[in-house]
Chain A
Amino acid sequence: MADEVILLDFWPSMFGMRVRVALAEKGIKYEYREEDLRNKSQLLLKMNPVHKKIPVLIHNGKPICESLIIVQYIDEVWNDRAPILPSDPYQRAQARFWADFVDKKVHDAGRKIWTTKGEEKEAAKKEFIDVLKVLEEQLGDKPYFGGDHFGFVDISLITYYSWFSAYEIFGEFSIEAHCPKLIAWAKRCLQKKSVSETLPDGKKIHGFINDMRKKLGVE
């Protein structure tokens, strides 16, 4: 019986992108369905009644929610190829720790850069750079956070890359100037098809954020 895999998603979402990258890494065929977040589909509301958010993976009719939970699910089900998490429990715990760090710190700091002004924005920039520096230190001299292989932490962070140029424009700063190793890592990840074919162009994200700022009244 063929697997039926459907992904409910929203193109600029860095959370949705994580799932798309994982599916591409594993070479899984799936149906992509774009959601209009101002007019959510009945299917989305039925499959994620608790949070009503994307991404939602529907595998043979059963929903899985929360991007990092979905990525782990994909890794566990399609466990015969391209492993995402390491097999050693200690290494897995470390991978989960750093992916959790990305979730807790990167999103909010980044968001404040384009939703605030003046002093708040400056504080947000500093926080954002500090967080990236911690990650850069953790990366060290390894090619990927996963070591020699692109893995869980890489997937959790790389999807923010398409938002970086927008952060830089609104924040009036250069991420590469502060974190050159991290940008080098990102470019390395982009050489993988699963990443380059998933991440939208930075200009498109910038356009999207511009529209959001108008709607939120941030100018």
Chain B
Amino acid sequence: MGEKTQEVKLHGMWASSYSKRVELALRIKGIPYDYIEEDLSNKSQLLLKYNPVHKKVPVLVHNGKPIAESYIILEYIDETWKNSPKLLPEDAYGRAKVRFWASFIQQQLFENIGKMFTCEGEAQEKVYKEVIEKLTMFETAIKELFPGGAPFTNGENLGLLDILMSATLTSHKAVEEVLGVEILNPEKNPLLFSCNSIEGTSFGERNSLSS
């Protein structure tokens, strides 16, 4: 049947951490791709055609076929390009755990941090307390999930949760500055605090993720 050229395009936006998740996954897997920067105030016809339901980035287009929703794209990447590193574990229970925490990071951490930008005073205080509570919960869970030490602290054996954490939390310093609150404390969240960026790891340096 001959070798079919894999055509991989990513419609993204530089400041979107959803977009960043997909870029990280593609780079970690060593998949070459074309990046198309979208202006979200003036979305391209292609984007609207590829994601008519949500009209959002990121959208991965593989050999002309679009896949939307960052988390779904990550699973698609792992199932299509089966080379290592594997983003999800092989066993069903391990996969269920990763999916559970991925959903947690998205709904309990990321969306709540986002909420803090759109409310003030007491309402903001309440969301802030929830975020801190959830971060503590997650920090505890990581110790159980990675008894040998969290991969994102040493850049080895990176997986899906590492990608989500890196993309979600790398901007925490900026978030903290804008909101005037502390989200990650090195004493209370040692593992998460050290997950500053995959850029800061040996993997990041080898693959020049910051460009």
**Among B62, B73, B79, B99, which residue has its beta carbon within 8 angstroms of that of A72?**
B99
**Looking at the complex, which one of B73, B79, B103 makes contact with A66 (CB distance below 8 Å)?**
B103
**Distance in Å from the Cβ of B47 to the closest Cβ of chain A?**
16
Q: From B17-25, B88-96, B156-164, B198-206, give the one contacting chain A.
A: B88-96
* A-B pairs with beta carbons under 8 A, tally: 55
Other than the given A50-B104, A90-B65, 18 more pairs (CB < 8 A) read A50-B137, A59-B93, A64-B93, A69-B96, A69-B100, A70-B96, A72-B99, A89-B79, A90-B62, A90-B67, A92-B75, A93-B67, A93-B73, A94-B67, A96-B72, A96-B75, A100-B69, A100-B72
Q: List chain A positions with a Cβ less than 8 A from chain B.
A: 50, 59, 62, 64-66, 69-70, 72-73, 76-77, 89-90, 92-94, 96-97, 100-101, 134
Query: Which of B68, B96, B100 counts the most A-chain CB atoms under 10 A from its CB?
Result: B96
Q: Which residue of B lies closest to A79 (CB)?
A: B92
Does B53 have its Cβ within 8 Å of any Cβ on chain A?
Answer: yes
The reply to whether B65 and A97 form a contact with Cβ atoms under 8 Å apart is: no
Complex-state Cα separation, A136 to B35, whole angstroms: 33
A58 to B79, CA, bound (A): 26
Whether A69 lies near B99 (C-beta < 8 A) is yes
Which residues does B use to contact A, with CB under 8 Å?
A: 53, 62, 65, 67-69, 72-73, 75-76, 79-80, 92-93, 95-96, 99-100, 103-104, 137, 141
Q: In the complex, A66→B104 CA distance in Å?
A: 10
Interface SS, A side: helix
B65 surroundings in chain A (CB, below 8 A)? 90
Helix, strand, loop or mixed for chain B's interface? helix
User: What separation, in Å, do the CA atoms of A174 and B141 have in the docked complex?
Assistant: 46
Contacts of A93 on B, CB cut-off 8 Å? 67, 72-73, 75-76
A66, B99: Cβ atoms under 8 Å? yes
* Distance of B114 from chain A, by nearest CB (Å): 15
Q: Do the beta carbons of A64 and B104 come within 8 Å of each other?
A: no
> Chain A residues near B137 (CB, 8 Å)?
50
CA distance A142 to B127 in the complex (A): 44
Residues of A within 8 A of B100 (CB): 64-66, 69
What are 13 sample pairs from A and B whose C-beta atoms fall under 8 A apart?
Answer: A64-B100, A69-B99, A69-B103, A72-B99, A73-B93, A73-B95, A76-B92, A92-B75, A92-B76, A93-B67, A93-B73, A93-B75, A97-B72
Q: Which A-chain residue is minimally distant from B65 (CB atoms)? A: A90
Which 3 pairs show the lowest CB-CB distances between chains A and B? A76-B92, A89-B79, A93-B76
Query: Which residue of chain B lies nearest to A70 when distances are taken between CB atoms in the complex?
Result: B96
Q: Which residues of B contact A100 (CB under 8 A)?
A: 69, 72
Q: Which of A89, A93, A96 has the most CB of B within 10 A?
A: A93
Give chain A residues whose Cβ lies under 8 Å from the Cβ of B95.
72-73, 76
Measured in the bound complex, the distance between the Cα atoms of B163 and A150 in whole Å is 33
Chain B's closest residue to A68 (CB) is B99
Q: Complex Cα distance A101/B95, Å?
A: 21
Check A73–B72 contact: CB distance below 8 A. Answer: no
Least Cβ distance of B106 to chain A in Å? Answer: 11
**B76 is contacted by which of A70, A73, A89 (Cβ under 8 Å)?**
A89
A131 → chain B closest CB, angstroms: 10
Q: Closest CB of chain A to B131's CB: distance in Å?
A: 14
Within 8 Å CB of B62, what residues of A? 90
Closest A residue to B108 by CB, please name it.
A50
Instruction: Please pick, from B53, B76, B92, the residue contacting A101 in the complex, using a CB distance under 8 A.
Output: B53
Q: With the chains together, A89 CA to B74 CA distance in Å?
A: 11
